[in-house]
Amino acid sequence: MTGDHRDEVFTEISRSGYYPEIVAAGLSDALAGEPVHGFVVHHEPTFDRDEIRRHMTVLTLTPSRVLLLHTDEHPGDDLLPKPYTSTTTEAVAVSRVSSVVVTRMVSASTKALEEAVLTVSWGAVSRVELEPAQCADPECDADHGYSGSITGDDFSLRISATADGGAAVERLLAFARILSIATSDGASAGRL
């Protein structure tokens, strides 16, 4: 995916049928006239007791930014007593993206691509995982403190062939490829 895919992303938003005018207005404002080099539109229903709520994520790459747009339904609360929809956009400079992680899940029996997960980090949110440190001596009962890792975890999107279709999984992988190119040193050489 290179070039300008602005018309395609808005067509996909409209096709989803999930508050297309609200989602499109949010994305249009966030794009601020920039072309769209790549995108993923993911419409996801969630089940909450007796209700089905929907969520939409629109992930867009422009020449300078990664745009994340989330739209949610709300049943009503203290803020607004009637059901309402909220759309939130976040713009991250491509130069700030520090990590693009792609996980592919392939069926052992059929070798078919079943799902993919894209995780993008730019340093706003980190996850810390700690565990007791151990030494090689099985008889040792000393306290060795903790060891662990800090992982960037700003945004993650999982798409499944079963729930979303194989084309949706392939679109996520295509987006991950162009985002990886955009965040590499080769991006300044005009590879997009």
Task: Please state, in angstroms and rounded to a whole number, the distance separating the CA atoms of residues 43 and 70.
Answer: 10
Higher-scoring residue by pLDDT: 44, 174: 174
Query: What mean pLDDT comes out for the span 20-45?
Result: 94
The string of pLDDT tens digits covering residues 136-187 is 888 888 887 877 766 555 788 999 999 999 999 999 999 999 999 999 864 5
SS3 call for 85: strand
Confidence class of residue 135 from pLDDT cuts 50, 70 and 90?
confident
Task: Please state, in angstroms and rounded to a whole number, the distance separating the CA atoms of residues 41 and 82.
Answer: 27
* Beta-strand relationship, 113-121 and 146-152: unpaired
SS3 call for 169: helix
Decide: 23 and 29 in contact? Cβ < 8 Å: no
Q: What is the pLDDT, as a whole number, of residue 189?
A: 42
Confidence class of residue 38 from pLDDT cuts 50, 70 and 90?
very high
pLDDT of 73 strictly over 90: no
Q: What is the pLDDT, as a whole number, of residue 127?
A: 61
Using CB atoms within 10 Å of the CB of residue 22, give its burial: 0 to 12 exposed, 13 to 18 middle, 19+ buried: middle
Higher-scoring residue by pLDDT: 58, 142: 58
Decide: 61 and 70 in contact? Cβ < 8 Å: no
* pLDDT above 70 as % of the chain: 89
Q: Give percent helix, percent strand, percent coil of the chain, each to the nearest 5.
A: 30, 40, 30
The string of pLDDT tens digits covering residues 4-26 is 999 999 999 999 988 999 999 99
Query: What mean pLDDT comes out for the span 61-90?
Result: 89
> What is the chain's mean pLDDT, rounded?
86
Higher-scoring residue by pLDDT: 92, 148: 92
Higher-scoring residue by pLDDT: 47, 139: 139
Confidence class of residue 122 from pLDDT cuts 50, 70 and 90?
confident
pLDDT of 57 strictly over 50: yes
Q: What is the pLDDT, as a whole number, of residue 150?
A: 63
For the chain, helix (H) and strand (E) counts, in that order, are 4, 9
Decide: 21 and 14 in contact? Cβ < 8 Å: no
Q: What is the pLDDT, as a whole number, of residue 54?
A: 81
Alpha carbon 105 to chain centroid distance?
17
Q: What phi-psi label fits residue 17: left (phi over 0), alpha (psi between -120 and 50 degrees) or beta?
A: left
